[in-house]
Amino acid sequence: MATFKAQLANSGGRWCLYVVLLGVPVSQWPERAFGSAVVPTVQERSRALNALGYVFTDGAEWEWFEDSATFDDPSSAVLLIASVTVREATE
């Protein structure tokens, strides 16, 4: 069974959840935008993934890491990104 990475990132003050599909243009990745600057709860993220046709893998946990808005610039704004392993939902 194939697994994928789902990521949650904040851009422009709003959170967006998307599933990374290698070999597929980013514009075609499944995504769900949240209409708030507040971090979506785990339940909200789970419902969004289900709506996109994905579920958490067994034992999956969200991992948070930071990146910078401008590569190799320590004065750049910090971007928070969360990642979790998912699989396609089966009927």
Residues spanned by the domain of 44: 3-88
Q: What pLDDT score was predicted for residue 91?
A: 56
pTM to 2 decimal places: 0.87
Q: Residue 43: what are its φ and ψ, rounded to 5°?
A: -65, -40
Q: Give the pLDDT means over successive 10-residue stretches in the chain (91 positions).
A: 94 91 97 92 97 96 91 87 95 56
- Residue 47 is predicted with a pLDDT of 97
Contacts from 41-49 at CB under 8 Å and sequence distance 24+?
45/6, 45/8, 45/17, 45/84, 48/17, 49/6, 49/17, 49/19, 49/86
Q: Count the domains in the chain.
A: 1
**Residue spans of alpha helices (H) in 32-84:** 42-52
